[in-house]
Amino acid sequence: MVDLRQAMRGAIYLALFGGFLALASVRVYGPLMAVVPTVLIALNLLAERWEAYRVFRQFKTVISLLYALFIPLSVVLMGLLQAVISLVIFITCYLLLGRLTVKSCYELLLMAFFLVLGAVVQSPEPLIAVALVILLLSVVWSFALLTVQADRLAATASRPAVVVDSRSMVINDTWQLWYVLGTLALVSVVALVLGGVLFLFTPRVEAGIFGRADYQRAVTGLTDKVRLDGGMSIYQDTSAVMHVEFPEEPEGVLIPADALYWRVTTLSRFDGAEWSRYQVPAQGREVPIIWPFANGSGLVQIGKAVQRDPVQGRRLVRQEIFVDDVPTGALPVLDLVQYVALEGDERNPRTVQWDPGGDYTVLLNARGPRRLTYQAVSELFQPSPETLATASWTVTDLSETILQVLLYHDLLESTRARIDEVTRNARTPYEVMLTLVNWLNGPDFTYTLDLPPLPPTHPIDAFLTQTRRGHCELFATALALAARYKGIPTRVVNGYRGGDYNPSERAYIVRANMAHLWVEAYFQGVGWVRFDPSPRSDYTATGFAYIRQRWSQQLLLAKMFWYRNVMGFQGGWRLDTLVEQLRQGHGEGGGTGALEVFLKFTSPDRRGRIALPATLVFLVLCAGVVLGLAWRVFWRNQSPYDRVILNLHQRHARWLLRGLRRKLERVGVDTRGLTSEELLTRAASVPALDREALRWLLAYYEQARFGGGNMTFRDFWRLRGVPILRGAERQHNR
Amino acid sequence: MRYLSLSPIRSVFRRVAGKWTATGLVVCLISMLLLLSAWNTGENLLYIIFGGSLGLLVISSVSGRMNLSGLDISVDMAPAVHRGDPLPAHVELRSRRWLLSAFSVRVILEGDAVEPTVAHVLRVPPRARAMVDLDLSFKRRGEHRLDSCRLRSAFPFGFYTREKRFVLANRVLVYPRVYPVSITPFERGMGAMVRARRNDEEGDEYFSLREYQPGDDIRRIVWRVSARLGTLVVREMGLGTLKTVIILIDDSGIRGPEDLERFELAVEYAASLAVAFIHKQYEVGTAAGNTSGIAPARGSLQEHRILEWFARVQPAGQDGGELLLERLARLRSEPARILCVSHRLDPGTLNLPQSCPVISPVEVATDG
């Protein structure tokens, strides 16, 4: 027999299934997401029964509170979109773990809709078409049946309506319901068709009516590659990413201040719109010598530390660095890195290695969180202008293949002409570089984070000749390509520039908005030299950004403390080493007594004997806690009359009364259910009873039990010895 | 009853406009946001979802408008009921349509002194009738009317609520509640309280014999006794135990809501008394200070008249005490027992003569 409520429930379940199926069409989630509604639906059928238990309702409340506390953390851990989707899923679970009412059904439909929206914005697979069809059909049924159910519930008439057709024959309810369901089926088909028609004929406009068509929102930071096309507005993220100390510098201040360039990756290959890494083999005397030594094929050893021979005459600067999240697989270190050593637990499998490109990139091999503390030594290298001026145009240090990469550009004729015009007076490579840097730093160009859209092909031409507005990526790329056009091998370096000095910590804080791209040009006989065409940003955080900046700095310091001093704590008293020390002190197998037993017991081959009893003890403790909680829950569910809470004196008084009852029952007095007065009356029938003593004891009991009087354990012990039957010695003191 | 007319202006307004429900507003808002997002991003999936939601709104609007069209109603009910008792109202919903059914229609009856009563009809097929029985319960006595009968539907999706209102002409007279009352104490007291007196015109009991006085009705001469005694003797009649009662309701001194409440209690008690007397073959009449009463009579018709009178009697207000006394003075010349039912907590304040017992329902309630 068709039941309206069951049909409504089925429609809701189908709508939820459609929502989760839409999520399953997103690759990130996979088909497993389609199984989730099945589990939830099964739980819903059980939860309607569980809802009657207060424990279950309290459990739901606790879980909800815990999740509410988790929400901000989820945004940080998963990102905003995923956090919202997980919140929607949580709300769905919460609603399904309860009775389905008309209101909760509407809420479930809304959640299903949000799930579909969450899938739509994440480039789903074609499976979403099936999900949309299922959702639309189920929504039609759900809304209609919910409307009917709501109307039914609003009725106050005690008798149902009787429907009579044109032949005066009564139409029964079942047939009515089937007719309704059939009509709904027709309506859902009409809705499907109408939805398709409206989709085809909905007026459209150019996308981006409220903004740029390819408008993207980006945040300052580092990436593996640098893409140049597309307009975007870059949000300055002032959160702290690195904490750096210079322990050997006075006051921890690095001088000169403009040496604060932190290399992360080097990008040599340019393909017209994007920079990427290229494995440039080691060349010349700048070859990093890997410790232990590299083999000839370019494979390098990896380990907890890497270093190379320092170049004579260059100043070495030691750093202690904490990074909250190592970007793009490479460690940020002050240019030019000479030595890097990881700190922390030796058992942690993280390692570092030199990048085979020989471009001073140190790679981090790690799984899981990329939070890191490491020591580094860097060479400060900035050759003098006189040295650079003597470099020749012909580069023989680099091979043809590499030069081909480092000289590639795709500048248009007009752009080249402009560059020629700018550098017409430059005679040496160094002069060319300087001229180009001054040109880019000049009034013709504007540094901004609000980028106009650039064409997908020849974006730098557009930058150099038309827009002339951009950020460091455009400036650096323009300089690099212009220099390449002039025959100077260049590459760009991805990293950070600058740092905020914190006098109280004597350390530098490097922030995400200090991510930077600069240029390295190769000079014959000198090596790679840094050039930075981007003007310095005068950004100062204000308002909420300033608060965020301060907060992230404190958070970084707190994390540092936590991971260095708590998670990375290595000191203290070590039991295993203690045992080893004791064993060494006593010799192998030597010694007698308890210590020997202890040593044997804790020997490595008998560690199982420690683990097993420890585990058993732990399990017993856990079981005790669980049983205690269960008993407490059970006790709370008892009638309030059964769980009277007494203080210590009242408990002693109750013990006293119990003792009196037992004594009276021994002489045949039935004391069940009697108050103390009734007890006294009933006990009067006992000839041997000392009524005065009993009255006195009962008065004492009443006073302690109900009158707020005191009865310590000592009092109780004394009183229980008072005889109430004549013939016994009186040992109490009045 | 007959089919009811519909105020054209009001019904047109109701049919066209409807009323948005919260669900409908949410769906509209979501649809607008979807359209804006689709325009901004150019994402076709968003256009598809927008098409679906807009389709639902369109279907809801069109079919919702059609759902109540072609429906008429008729309402049958009894003309009178006691206060608090359910009054069955038979509502018949008739569809004049040829093709489409009407779905999920709420039938709402409402009026003054009655709470709106709702019935639900799942489906009214074309050319069919749906019959619904509703129990109306009136809270106050008096003459009431049913204002309207409304048909309301949010079908199919609950986005709009459409309503069709029928103005009704049904009137219902709500009698006061009547409950069992013992009249034995009054019967016992009646003979003692009423002064037996001569009455040449009325009376149905033999009182005494006396000598003929000039002016006596010669039909009263008892010839046999007169022949025996040798002088004319006439028969003198008395009231004896009269079976005529007039219930006088004290409608004066109503100052506030509490007095009014007690007045209602007094009316109910008085009505119960009246019915009890009638059932014991008494002739019962009614009177009040400010309202003309009903002459005593017997039978079920008199019972209905009395109940109608009690249904309509209203308090005189703060004053009215003098009117009550005047009424009483006129009633004392009637050959009937007069029982005064008062709402006052202290009936002595009425200053009625002793021959007219005053009953306060509050006291009666206290004594049980």
- Closest to A299 measured CA to CA, from A263, A353, A338: A353
pLDDT one-digit tens code per residue, A286-307: 444 433 333 444 334 567 777 7
pLDDT at A215: 43
Is the pLDDT at B36 greater than 50? The verdict is yes
Is the pLDDT at A730 greater than 80? The verdict is no
Task: Report how far residue A510's alpha carbon sits from residue A332's, in angstroms, rounded to the nearest whole number.
Answer: 10
Of the given ranges (A604-613, A714-723, B87-96), which has the lowest mean pLDDT?
Answer: A604-613
Please give the span between the terminal C-alpha atoms of chain B, in angstroms, as a whole number: 43
Mutate to test the interface with A, among B68, B121, B124, B135 (most CBs of A within 10 A): B121
**Which whole number is the average pLDDT over A615-620?**
79
Task: Report how far residue B111's alpha carbon sits from residue A308's, in angstroms, rounded to the nearest whole number.
Answer: 97
Q: Are A351 and A304 in contact (CB under 8 A)?
A: yes
Of the given ranges (A36-45, A598-607, A697-706, B289-298), which has the lowest mean pLDDT?
Answer: A598-607
* Phi, psi of B327, rounded to the nearest 5 degrees: -60, -40
Q: Are A195 and B55 in contact (CB under 8 A)?
A: yes
Is the pLDDT at A549 greater than 70? The verdict is yes
Partner-chain contact B48 A199, CB within 8 Å: yes
Residue type, B237: M
Percent of chain A with pLDDT over 70: 78
- Closest to A533 measured CA to CA, from A464, A584, A450: A464
Q: Which residues on adjacent β-strands are paired with residue A528?
A: A522
pLDDT at A731: 39
Is the pLDDT at B343 greater than 80? The verdict is yes
**Which whole number is the average pLDDT over B131-153?**
86
**Which whole number is the average pLDDT over A726-731?**
48
**Please, what is the Cα angle at A33 between A29 and A37, to 5 degrees?**
155
ipTM passes above 0.90: no
Q: Are B243 and B336 in contact (CB under 8 A)?
A: no
**Which residue is it, tokens 């590659």?**
A225
pLDDT one-digit tens code per residue, A351-408: 777 776 667 778 777 766 667 788 899 988 888 888 888 888 888 878 888 888 889 8
Q: Are A429 and A197 in contact (CB under 8 A)?
A: no
pLDDT at B194: 44
Is the pLDDT at A591 greater than 60? The verdict is no
Of the given ranges (A19-33, A227-241, A682-696, B72-86), which has the lowest mean pLDDT?
Answer: A227-241
pLDDT one-digit tens code per residue, A437-492: 999 988 888 887 766 677 777 888 888 888 888 888 899 999 999 999 999 999 99
Residue A188: partners with Cβ closer than 8 Å, 6 or more residues away: A136, A137, A140, A141
pLDDT one-digit tens code per residue, A260-290: 899 888 888 888 778 887 655 544 444 444 3
**Which whole number is the average pLDDT over A653-675?**
86
Distance from A164 to chain B by nearest Cα, in Å?
Answer: 5
Which residues 42-61 of chain B have a CB within 8 Å of chain A?
42-43, 45-52, 54-56, 58-59
**pLDDT tier at A635 (50, 70, 90 boundaries)?**
low
**Which whole number is the average pLDDT over A430-438?**
93
**pLDDT tier at A216 (50, 70, 90 boundaries)?**
very low
Tokens of A406: 């480092």
**Which whole number is the average pLDDT over B278-293?**
87
pLDDT at A421: 93
Q: Does B123 touch chain A (CB under 8 A)?
A: yes
pLDDT at B8: 32
pLDDT at A531: 92
pLDDT at A576: 54
SS3 B205: strand
- Closest to A20 measured CA to CA, from A88, A95, A115: A115
Partner-chain contact A194 B124, CB within 8 Å: no
Residue with the larger pLDDT of the pair B301 and A558: B301
Give A227-241 as a DSSP string: E--S-EEEE----EE
Is the pLDDT at B207 greater than 80? The verdict is no
Residue with the larger pLDDT of the pair A75 and A608: A75
pLDDT at B368: 37
Partner-chain contact B59 A190, CB within 8 Å: yes
Find how far residue A241's CA is from the centre of its chain.
16
Which residues 93-122 of chain B have a CB within 8 Å of chain A?
93, 101, 103-106, 117-122
B227-233: long-range contacts, CB 8 A cutoff, minimum separation 24: B233/B209
pLDDT at B12: 28
Task: Report how far residue A512's alpha carbon sits from residue A219's, in angstroms, rounded to the nearest whole number.
Answer: 8
Of the given ranges (A79-93, A645-659, B233-247), which has the lowest mean pLDDT?
Answer: B233-247
pLDDT at B190: 52
Give A457-514 as a DSSP string: SSHHHHIIIII-EE-HHHHHHHHHHHHHHTT--EEEEEEEE--EEETTTTEEEEEGGG
**pLDDT tier at B321 (50, 70, 90 boundaries)?**
confident
**pLDDT tier at A207 (50, 70, 90 boundaries)?**
low
Count other C-beta atoms under 10 Å from residue A524's C-beta: 16
Residue with the larger pLDDT of the pair B282 and B347: B282
Which residues 2-41 of chain B have a CB within 8 Å of chain A?
23, 26, 30, 35-36, 38-41
Give the residue from chain B lying closest to A216, CA to CA: B41
Of the given ranges (A19-23, A512-516, A561-565, B255-259), which has the lowest mean pLDDT?
Answer: A561-565
Partner-chain contact B120 A151, CB within 8 Å: yes
Residue A167: partners with Cβ closer than 8 Å, 6 or more residues away: none
Task: Report how far residue A446's alpha carbon sits from residue A637's, in angstroms, rounded to the nearest whole number.
Answer: 73
For residue B49, which residues of chain A lie inside 8 Å, CB to CB?
Answer: 116-117, 120, 132
Closest CB to B125 among A136, A171, A190: A171
For chain B, give the mean pLDDT: 79
**Please, what is the Cα angle at B267 between B264 and B273, to 5 degrees?**
145
Distance from A26 to chain B by nearest Cα, in Å?
Answer: 14
pLDDT at A413: 92
* Model confidence, pTM: 0.51
For residue B48, which residues of chain A lie inside 8 Å, CB to CB?
Answer: 132, 195, 199
For residue A187, which residues of chain B lie inside 8 Å, CB to CB?
Answer: 59, 63, 156
Task: Report how far residue A22's alpha carbon sits from residue A19's, in angstroms, rounded to the nearest whole number.
Answer: 5
**pLDDT tier at B11 (50, 70, 90 boundaries)?**
very low
Mutate to test the interface with A, among B54, B118, B123, B135 (most CBs of A within 10 A): B123
SS3 A646: coil
Tokens of A628: 């205690």
Is the pLDDT at B14 greater than 50? The verdict is no
Task: Tell whether the torsion through CA atoms of A572, A577, A583 and A584 is positive or negative.
Answer: negative
Q: Are A697 and A724 in contact (CB under 8 A)?
A: yes
For chain A, give the mean pLDDT: 79
- Closest to B50 measured CA to CA, from B80, B29, B72: B29
Count other C-beta atoms under 10 Å from residue B139's C-beta: 12
Query: What Rg do the C-alpha atoms of chain A give, in angstroms?
Result: 40
For residue A171, which residues of chain B lie inside 8 Å, CB to CB?
Answer: 125, 128
Residue A433: partners with Cβ closer than 8 Å, 6 or more residues away: A479, A483, A488, A521, A531
**pLDDT tier at B13 (50, 70, 90 boundaries)?**
very low
| Strand boundaries in A246-314, DSSP class E | 261-267, 269-270, 274-276, 302-303, 305-307
Is the pLDDT at A702 greater than 70? The verdict is yes
